[in-house]
Structure 1
Amino acid sequence: MKAHVNAITLAVSDLERSFRFYSDGLGLSSPGIIGTEHVGDRDTPGGAAAMFTLDNGLVLALYSRTDLAKDAALPLDRIAGSPVSLGYFVDTREDVDRILAQAHQAGATIVRPPLERPWGIYSGYFTDPDGHLWEAVYFLDGQRPN
């Protein structure tokens, strides 16, 4: 396996609400919610999803929790929350502050206000409306990892 991730899919409880959070609130670009013509049933997942192609080519996808559980053949309780954090690297300390303020204005919960860490970063955390954990990070020496 090559060390490369092409897409991250976030399971969401309300696709339209989450789409608005990421598009209107955070300013990510997307063609909108697609695949709505593929309606699921009790056993088959639906196809409605929203996809955002990020500047580095990574696709951030939003997909219904129930549909993702059906698609992956997992119990619904396995598709929840945030046992990981998604990192967003920025160019300045002010960018960290701005991103957290923008996320809060869009409906995010700030779970850790920005602060300087002894290992050389300035960062803060927020969660989206479904509890997915994001960290905005500035590297104090200006040297981001590749």
Structure 2
Amino acid sequence: MTLPCQRISLVTLGVDNLDRARAFYAALGWAEAESTDGMACFQLHGQALMLFGRADLAKDQGREGAELGTGAVTLAQCFETRDDVDAAFAQALAAGATALKAPEAVFWGGYSGYYADPDGHVWEVAHNPFWPLAKDGSLTLPVPA
């Protein structure tokens, strides 16, 4: 059997305060699909995002007591227009995010900005005129000719 390997099914973010993290993502308009006392899950297009306490995540990874940071990772949301990017950035700041870089025209021909959620996880909000989005907001990269 050949397993598809170019996929991500679940992204788990380690958080310091689960209630604060839940409130932040709820303020962005995200609805929890499943939750327990120790985690919260959000259904995304074809995958899920989980919020999990940092100490519990380290233990689950077999690294109990390890100091988990946010790593060199950026999560990104693509939008149809620059105005949508500006609105998403403003909504994140109003929900408690920290601005890292206000949305602006960027060298690759698009428009993007960055913020950090209350636990320091970095999000990019972007408009890429070269990558059209489906009506549901999902992204399919163009196939090279």
Residue aligning to 2:10? 7
Is 2:76 aligned against 1:73? no
- What is the percentage of aligned positions where both structures have the same residue? 37
CA distance in 2, matches of 1:7, 1:103: 22
Once the two structures are superposed, what CA deviation does each residue of 1:5-49 show, in whole Å capped at 9, x if it has no partner? Answer: 0000000000010001001x1111114631x3xxxxxxxxxxx10
CA distance in 2, matches of 1:95, 1:114: 11
Identify the match of residue 41 of structure 2 among 45, 51, 54. Answer: 51
AA in 2 matched with 1:63: F
The answer (yes or no) to whether the contact 1:82–1:133 under 8 Å persists in 2 is no
The answer (yes or no) to whether the contact 1:86–1:135 under 8 Å persists in 2 is yes
TM-score, length-normalised on structure 1? 0.83
Identify the match of residue 29 of structure 2 among 27, 30, 49. Answer: 27
The answer (yes or no) to whether the contact 2:112–2:125 under 8 Å persists in 1 is yes
CA distance in 2, matches of 1:82, 1:102: 24
Q: Residues 84-123 of structure 1 correspond to what in structure 2 (within 5 A)?
A: 84-123=73-112
The answer (yes or no) to whether the contact 1:19–1:33 under 8 Å persists in 2 is no
Aligned Cα root-mean-square deviation (Å): 1.6
For this pair of structures, how many residues does the alignment match? Answer: 131
C-alpha deviation, 1:82, in angstroms? 3.7
TM-score, length-normalised on structure 2? 0.84
CA distance in 2, matches of 1:6, 1:141: 25
SS in 1 for 2:91: helix
Identify the match of residue 133 of structure 1 among 122, 127, 130. Answer: 122
SS in 1 for 2:118: coil
**Structure 1 pair 49/69, CA: closer, same or farther in 2 (3 Å)?**
same
Once the two structures are superposed, what CA deviation does each residue of 1:69-114 show, in whole Å capped at 9, x if it has no partner? Answer: 001012421x112411001011110011000000000000010000
C-alpha deviation, 1:120, in angstroms? 1.4
